[in-house]
Chains A and B, each alone.
Chain A
Amino acid sequence: QVQLVQSGPEVKKPGASVKVSCKASGYTFSSYGFSWVRQAPGQGLEWMAWISVYNDDTKYAQKFQGRVTMTADTSTETAYMELTGLTSDDTAVYYCARDLFPFSSTCQLNYWGQGTLVTVSS
């Protein structure tokens, strides 16, 4: 069965960077794209960015452009999201989520990781 398992919680100081991993299993990793979505405490969902594992295409929300780097390692079937220049506003649960259809750039997210809490505090 499809599983996305994310790395554990992180505590970072303002100005630091964080790299969250998303280990996939149960399907052909290279055929799908991933989105990264975050949720600040008590708030709604915020779409951040998308990466295609099959052709390395990427899409970003403007507010994260230049601060977010997404990569996908096909040898370990793991996707990564790195966020730089952290501020307290980046404190949130970060989710990876897989596209519903292979070889598609439509953002229909039917498998989600369990979430990674990133806390930014001095």
Chain B
Amino acid sequence: DIQMTQSPSSLSASVGDRVTITCQASQDIRNYLNWYQQKPGRAPKLLIYDASTLETGVPSKFSGSGFGTHFTFTIFSLQPEDIATYYCQHYDNAPYTFGQGTKVEIK
């Protein structure tokens, strides 16, 4: 099974800061990577697929990049409504494992 390692597991940043989360795959997954946002008590929301393609309706302050084994997710200008846990997930082959999540808080 492919393991997905996210870092950091949590972070605290100020409003307006740029926030970056990384996701490392245990083997080459090409660009078969999703990023999700999950707010407390809610279902996850797909933000990015194919490592860098923004899902319809997702604001451009979210961005993804990477290929192979190393991926990056960025929030440009953190806002209070971005407080959530963010997960990467690969879909190269089953099982489609998630990273352990990154909890983003406001400083």
Contact = CB atoms under 8 A, between A and B. Distances in A.
Interface residues of B, number: 24
Interface in B50-86: 50, 55, 85
Contacts, number: 64
Interface residues on chain A, size class: 20 to 34
Contact of B91 (A37, A45, A107, A112): A107
Overall SS of chain A's interface: strand
B38 interface: yes
A40 interface: no
Nearest to B48: A108
Residue of A35, A62, A107, A113 most packed against chain B (CB within 10 A): A107
A104 to B, nearest CB: 10
A2 B43 CA distance: 15
A112 B85 CA distance: 16
A103 to B, nearest CB: 15
Interface of A: 35, 37, 44-47, 50, 59-62, 95, 97, 100, 106-110, 112-115
